[in-house]
Amino acid sequence: MELLKFDSLVKLAVAASNKTAFSFSENEKYSAEQTSDLLRAQMNELAGDYRSFRENKNTIFSLIEQTIDEVLPAKVLQQYEQFADVSTVPQGDKVVFVRRITEASRMRAKQFVTQVGLAGRYETFMLDGERLEVKMNAIGAAARIGFEEFLDGRIQFSDLTDVILEGMDEYIYREIAKALASAVSELPAPNKVTASKFDSASMDRLLAIADSYAGAPATIYCTYEFAATMLPAEAWASNEMKDTIWGQGYLPRYKGHNIVILPQSMEDATNAKKVIDPSNAYIINSGAEKPVKIAFEGQTAVRDVNDNDDWSRDMQTYKKFGVAILTNPSICVYNNSSLKLETV
């Protein structure tokens, strides 16, 4: 098989990572499954044996780096765009998000909107702004590839890229969860409810607060466990509702508000500790300022450490990112304490 030019190889690797179709031209198109197979074939040309890998190592590392740089920010944006802004900047640049008008200014504006005559003296207020600089951290992933596994073709570098992307994405998701949880303490008391079960009246009160900002219905973000508790009383449940609950375990809407399920995962193979605290439901107005700010800085770096006595290779990656929370009084949180695990 003829080896593709590097630019085409990057596009192929991005398509394979996104599990999408790929085409070189109108006459040469590949399905998502064929794209993955084509990438494996191309990687076999680059690193099908030890000598090929040694000769093409820098090309392979550049391919992994550029694939991560293109796929990871886009993947994060796609998953969290409803409540997060994502920014990418060159190495060394500061990542600053600007909120043009603070909630304090909006409240002052409401206070000063009064009936006035055609001329005369008017009370004024300042439309100030707010700048939030995101502190950057480094995340990395490392994988050890056995020499015999490599020679036998049981390990593919495309598989390595997928593992790295999955690990980085999950780590970022954990940081988002931590940031959201820490932001709860900054919210006004009326924006928070803690109860030992789901109470529709309490949820309705929080939704009324969130809906009052930006004139748009709020969205409820929670885990499947929380959503499964948000059920109508038996007398209110229609046959259609019952079928939906039986089919997927929860209702996708609550009194005109969309419910978005936050993906859950476990910290390790013991399944004893969950990444996302299932007891919290975050109520965020989609028309207001997005509270979560995610930033990526610079390029991904890949290197290998090959001085192991058994000739195995340690593949290491390095990526700089940051997560920050911009709290505002439109965010509300419902905590169902009965769902909280002791180990979370």
Residue 200 confidence (pLDDT): 93
DSSP secondary structure letter of residue 216: S
More confident: 273 or 297: 297
Query: How far apart, in Å, do the first and last CA atoms of the chain sit?
Result: 51
Mind listing the pLDDT tens digit for each residue in 219-264? 999 999 999 999 887 667 788 888 888 899 899 999 999 998 887 7
Closest to 282 (Cα-Cα) out of 326, 320, 333? 333
- Complete DSSP assignment for 47-114: HSSHHHHHHHHHHHHHHHHHHHHHHHHHHHHHHHTTTEEEEEE-TT---EEEESS-HHHHHHHHHH--
More confident: 6 or 342: 6
Which of these ranges, 185-189, 281-285, 318-322, 340-344, has the smallest mean pLDDT?
Answer: 340-344
- By DSSP bridging, strand 192-195 and strand 253-254 are unpaired
Q: How far apart are CA 28 and CA 318, in angstroms?
A: 35
> Which H helix or E strand runs over 160?
helix 157-183
User: Between the CA atoms of 23, 77, 74 and 323, what dihedral angle is there, to the nearest 10 degrees?
Assistant: -170
Which of these ranges, 40-49, 139-148, 198-207, has the smallest mean pLDDT?
Answer: 139-148
Q: How far apart are CA 313 and CA 304, in angstroms?
A: 6
Residue 164 confidence (pLDDT): 80
Closest to 294 (Cα-Cα) out of 86, 75, 78? 86
Q: Would you say residue 311 has pLDDT above 80?
A: no
Average of per-residue pLDDT values in the chain: 80
Residue 153 confidence (pLDDT): 64
Residue 118 confidence (pLDDT): 36
Q: Is 28 exposed, middle or buried (0-12, 13-18, 19+ CB in 10 A)?
A: exposed
Q: Would you say residue 160 has pLDDT above 80?
A: no
Which of these ranges, 107-116, 238-247, 317-326, has the smallest mean pLDDT?
Answer: 107-116
